[in-house]
Amino acid sequence: MEENTLLQQNQWRYIDQSFLGQTFHALQSFAMDDTLCATVGKHHTSAIARTWVHQNTVVLGIQDTKLPYLKAGIEYLKEQGYEVIVRNSGGLAVVLDEGVLNISLLFPETEKGIDINRGYDAMWKLIQEMFFLYEKNIEAKEIVGSYCPGSYDLSINDQKFAGISQRRLRGGVAVQIYLCVTGSGSERASLIKEFYARSLQGQRETKYVYPSILPQTMASLSELLQEDISVQTVLLLLLQTLKKYSHSIYSSQLNEEEAIVFHQNYERIIERNNKALTF
């Protein structure tokens, strides 16, 4: 893989929201990235790295809302103690919990435009660098049988531990990854497998193709590295790696202008989410 200059920034702004716990709703995260996309798009800030963790939540993609028996699937997830939301982008269902670290990298769009693969490659490169000392080959390829499969699934020995997505908005590019750090990858996959079983109820003729999930295709980094690593360990690796690509990193939260835009985005996302989940 060729050197990716997207990671090379004069300055990285770091927004850590991994510690907010129950007070931080997953819908707020999507409003947050929309807000920060606009900020970097206007060149009001340097490139941003944002980290976030949410309590038990299943995030559905737009396609999942077209499942024939979606209500039954959602009822099952709620019985298992998960909240359900719909994100405003593509892809399919993923699991968030306290063992899953999410990282968003936000860049301003360049004059020529940032090629979509270049954004994915930047995140892949970042994760490879972070875990370089573990001497594991981290591949980017579709893992058939995983939930939310895509060509930039990250895996070790054909077991997926992360998925990457992108969102482009108002001159900004957000590259997002979920990293299954601790816990059981196969248990998370089993949850989503049962969600699809209840949401499809054997119906094969559907508008979209939904994954046939094989739980053994997924694992957490703790399982794959055979080491008791934590979300905090990974946060430290992230900061150490970003320092290699930058003259400085500074930590911040939203400024006053961003906070106003965030609240507007959050209200809009709540409204859209409620519409998507109205049966």
Tens-place pLDDT, residues 259-271: 999 999 999 999 9
Q: In degrees rounded to 5, what are phi and psi of residue 121? A: -60, -35
Q: What is the pLDDT of residues 166-218, one digit of tens each?
A: 988 878 999 999 999 999 999 999 999 999 999 999 888 888 889 999 999 99
222 vs 6, residue with greater confidence: 222
Q: Which residues are catalytic, by number?
A: 148
Domain ranges of the chain: 10-276
Close Cβ partners of 163 (under 8 Å, ≥ 6 residues apart): 91, 94, 146, 148, 150, 152, 153, 154, 177, 178
Q: What is the pTM of this model?
A: 0.94
Residue 112: the pLDDT is 62
- Once rounded to an integer, what is the mean pLDDT over residues 69-76? 97
User: In one letter, which amino acid is 206?
Assistant: T
Architecture label for domain 10-276: 2-Layer Sandwich (3.30)
Q: What is the pLDDT of residues 107-157, one digit of tens each?
A: 998 756 667 788 999 999 999 999 999 999 999 999 999 999 999 999 999
